[in-house]
Amino acid sequence: MPIVDGWGGPIDVSPTHLPVFGTLPPGNVHFALGYTGNGVAPSHLAGRVLADLASETDSDLVHLPMVNPKPRLFPPEPLRSMGAAVVRRAIISFDTAEERGERPNPLASAVAHMPRRLGYLLGP
């Protein structure tokens, strides 16, 4: 049977496409996010990390690079938000053209590919 529909989009995607675990100040809220559709395998790890964070256990798990990573904040606001909106729209335009069997607009294609060229795992 042919696939008649599909869905995709940047929902709960971390910049590295890896899960992120952490604690929000003042220290009583712990989180796990960014599973990007792969939540079954890392959920056991997330539970162990969150347990150690909540109990303030200084284990190897709480020192993983995925725990309280420093955010990549480039460029500064408001350029980041405006740039993200432009890139998001270009990716949608690129994907829509491909889904219709059309050739993507060259400008939209160039902008949609920009995040990967900058080292982010986002876009075509």
| pTM of the entire predicted model | 0.55
* pLDDT on residue 82: 92
Gyration radius from the chain CA atoms:
18
The pLDDT of residue 9 is above 60? no
Place of tokens 């050739």: 103
Mean pLDDT of 56-77: 87
- Give Cα separations from 94 to 34, 44, 50 (angstroms): 24, 36, 38
Tokens of 52: 């150690």
Give residue 12's pLDDT. 61
Each residue's pLDDT tens digit, 25-65: 999 999 998 876 666 778 888 999 999 999 999 999 999 99
Q: What is the pLDDT of residue 17?
A: 74
Q: Where are the domains of the chain?
A: 1-70, 79-117
